[in-house]
């Protein structure tokens, strides 16, 4: 028993202090690293969620806009737009020539976002393992978010323009015989091709003169489109710059947070070092005193425990206990925790102590007494909560062991009978482990 004290004495105070300080420093460093890593992952999780949401909204709105435009191409409202507002047809034709996004571009970014969502979900299932975010994945997530947001903004502008245009037509004007918007756009495109073809023929000058009003109007519309596109581009660039500034600000904020966490960890490390140094000698002295006291108490405790064990074994082997607990000591193949399909399958032996505990037969309440009666009483006990069917045809399933002769209804037991059952239950609780040790009860 003196070996721990000798091992402790083999280390100097300086060595013990250095070990304690090293452990505290390593722990503080680990906590700092884990805190920064978890904070970075939490921010990454939010950015992945934002990118995923932006892509989903873009796809939903783009599909709705495409369906709306397709309907306008063949509806009466589209016919009125073709007749009353030819410039709108030119703008829509420009949209058809330059779509907001290609399906392949969207599919590639959608696939990346799905991978990141799956990665985040997998990591969230292991919260005990910190995950260091890959900077390349983080940057790519930001790119996907900005790409989707910029196109969502342009799509919203187109949708608003289309709504204003359709509201501006005269709905009372008849459309009988008027071309659809799709036909009007096709006609304009054909006319444009014909005009260019005529410009290369022998009648180039005449074609120019005849086409001049249309070409002038087309040039004016083209210039308006160019100015509109430039304005939209400047607006997009301004919004993207604002988004870039926001992300840079968040990055600087994250850096400051990490620095603050590091400073707090260093301060905590210094405090722990000071605490370890000032309390080191006190811990050594207390450990020595505790060891001496434990050695003394252990000897006395062993003596007391041995005496208690002898006393319990003597009680367990006494004639009165042998008589009172006879229904539980008798050998048989039935156990209280067996299900109906397992009846009689156990090896012959006494009642299992753990089975009594499992079915609640040792609980210190009325239900516990009823469960105990259900186990050891020939007529069982009405109202007991049995895990299995212990009684069939008014007969106990255990027909190998001696049973009590109490009434089936618990309320029919006299106060003295209830006290007797309670006394037997107390014996089983107090002597149970000792009875198992002696082989009088099953484990």
CB 58 within 8 A of CB 148: yes
- CA-nearest of 26, 23, 34 to 258 is 34
Q: Dump the DSSP string for 353-381.
A: HHHHHHTTTT-SSHHHHHHHHHHHBTT--
Question: What's CA 362's distance to the chain center, in Å?
Answer: 40
Contact indicator for 80, 170 with CB cutoff of 8 Å: yes
- How far apart CA 160 and CA 154 sit, in angstroms, is 10
DSSP 332: B
Rounded distance, CA 165 to CA 41, Å? Answer: 46
pLDDT (0 to 100) of residue 318: 92
Closest CA to 406 of 417, 392, 391, 395: 417
* Cβ-Cβ contacts under 8 Å for 125 (sequence gap 6 or more): none
The answer to whether residues 162 and 72 touch, using CB atoms and an 8 Å cutoff, is: yes
pLDDT score at 337? 85
Exposed e or buried b per residue across 292-316, where buried means at least 16 C-beta atoms within 10 angstroms of its C-beta? eeeeeeeeeeeeeeeeeeeebeeeb
> What pairing do the DSSP bridges indicate for beta strands 391-392 and 395-396?
antiparallel
pLDDT computed for residue 130 by the predictor: 77
Higher-pLDDT residue of 329, 242: 329
Helix, strand or coil for residue 391? strand
State the pLDDT confidence band at 278, using cuts at 50, 70 and 90. Answer: low
pLDDT of 77-111, one tens digit each? 888 888 888 788 888 888 887 888 899 999 999 99
Mean pLDDT of 364-386: 88
Q: Does the structure show a pLDDT above 90 at 406?
A: yes
198 bridge partner residues: none
| Rounded mean pLDDT, 345-374 | 91
Q: Is the pLDDT of residue 178 over 60?
A: yes
Question: Residues 2-19: what's their mean pLDDT?
Answer: 63
What's the pLDDT at 145? 94
Which SS3 state, helix, strand or coil, does residue 395 take? strand
Residues 304-357 have pLDDT tens digits of 888 888 899 999 899 999 999 999 999 998 888 877 666 666 789 999 999 999
For residue 197, give both structure tokens: 């073809």
Q: What is the CA radius of gyration of the chain?
A: 44
pLDDT of residue 4: 45
Residue 139 in tokens:
């940057």
| Cα three-residue angle 225-226-232, rounded to 5 degrees | 85
Residue given tokens 């309440």 in the structure block = 365
Is 384:371 a contact under the CB 8 Å cutoff?
yes
Q: How far apart (Å, rounded) are the C-alpha atoms in residues 225 and 203?
A: 30
What 3-state class would DSSP assign to 393?
Answer: coil
- What is the average per-residue pLDDT within 7-19? 71
Tokens representing 137?
């994945």
Contact present, 42 and 127 (Cβ < 8 Å):
no
Q: What is the pLDDT of residue 269?
A: 74
Per-residue model confidence as pLDDT tens digits over 419-438: 999 999 999 999 999 999 99
Structure tokens at 100: 């907001």
Residue 2 has pLDDT above 50, yes or no: no
> What pLDDT is stored for residue 203 in this prediction?
55
Which of the pair, 437 or 25, is modelled with greater confidence?
437
Question: What confidence tens digit (pLDDT) does each residue in 27-59 have?
Answer: 888 887 778 888 888 888 999 999 999 999 999
Mean of pLDDT over the chain: 82
| Residue linked to tokens 């806009």 | 65
Angle, vertex CA 119, rays to CA 29 and CA 33, nearest 5 = 5
Give the separation between CA 81 and CA 173, rounded to whole angstroms. 11
The residue to which tokens 């495109």 are assigned: 189
Instruction: Spell out the residues 6+ positions from residue 293 whose beta carbon is closer than 8 angstroms to its own.
Output: none
What pLDDT does residue 6 have? 41
Task: List Cα–Cα distances, 8 to 20, 45, 278, in angstroms.
Answer: 14, 49, 19
pLDDT in tens, 136-175: 988 999 999 999 999 999 999 999 999 998 888 888 888 7
Question: Helices 86-97 and 135-167, interaxial angle, to 10°?
Answer: 160
**Res 76: pLDDT:** 86
User: Phi and psi for 103 in degrees, rounded to 5?
Assistant: -60, -40
Domain boundaries, the chain: 17-178, 324-442
With cut-offs at 50, 70 and 90, classify the pLDDT of residue 197: low
| pLDDT computed for residue 394 by the predictor | 67
């Amino acid at each position: 028993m003196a070996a721990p004290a000798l091992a402790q004495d083999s280390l100097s105070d300086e060595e013990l202090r250095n070990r304690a300080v090293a452990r505290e420093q390593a722990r503080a460093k680990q906590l700092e690293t884990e805190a920064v890593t978890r904070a970075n992952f939490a921010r990454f999780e939010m950015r992945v969620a934002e990118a995923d949401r932006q892509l989903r909204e873009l796809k939903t709105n783009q599909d709705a806009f495409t369906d709306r435009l397709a309907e306008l191409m063949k509806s009466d409202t589209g016919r009125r737009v073709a007749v009353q507002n030819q410039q709108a047809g030119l703008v829509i034709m420009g949209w058809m020539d330059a779509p907001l996004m290609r399906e392949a571009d969207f599919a590639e970014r959608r696939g990346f976002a799905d991978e990141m969502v799956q990665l985040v979900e997998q990591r969230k299932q292991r919260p005990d393992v910190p995950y260091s975010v890959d900077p390349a994945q983080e940057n790519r997530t930001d790119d996907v978010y900005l790409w989707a947001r910029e196109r969502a903004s342009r799509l919203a502008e187109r949708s608003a323009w289309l709504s204003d245009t359709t509201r501006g037509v005269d709905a009372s004007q008849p459309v009988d015989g008027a071309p659809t918007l799709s036909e009007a756009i096709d006609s304009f495109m054909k006319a444009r091709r014909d005009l260019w073809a005529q410009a290369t023929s022998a009648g180039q000058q005449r074609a120019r003169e005849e086409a001049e009003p249309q070409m002038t109007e087309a040039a004016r519309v083209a210039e308006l489109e160019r100015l509109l596109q430039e304005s939209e581009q400047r607006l997009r660039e301004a919004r993207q710059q604002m988004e870039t500034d926001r992300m840079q600000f968040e990055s600087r904020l994250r850096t400051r947070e990490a620095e603050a966490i590091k400073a707090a960890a260093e301060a905590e490390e210094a405090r722990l070092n000071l605490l370890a140094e000032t309390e080191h000698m006190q811990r050594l002295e207390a450990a020595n005193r505790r060891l001496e006291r434990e050695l003394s108490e252990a000897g006395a405790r062993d003596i007391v425990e041995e005496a208690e064990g002898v006393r319990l074994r003597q009680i367990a082997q006494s004639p009165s206990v042998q008589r009172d607990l006879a229904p539980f000591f008798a050998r048989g193949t039935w156990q209280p925790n067996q299900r109906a399909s397992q009846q009689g399958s156990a090896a012959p032996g006494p009642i299992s102590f753990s089975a009594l505990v499992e079915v609640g037969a040792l609980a210190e309440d009325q239900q516990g007494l009823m469960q105990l009666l259900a186990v050891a009483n020939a007529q069982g006990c009405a109202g007991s909560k049995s895990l299995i069917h212990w009684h069939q045809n008014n007969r106990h399933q255990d027909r190998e062991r001696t049973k009590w002769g109490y009434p089936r209804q618990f309320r029919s037991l006299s106060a003295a009978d209830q006290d007797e059952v309670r006394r037997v239950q107390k014996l089983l609780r107090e002597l149970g482990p000792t009875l198992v040790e002696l082989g009088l009860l099953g484990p």
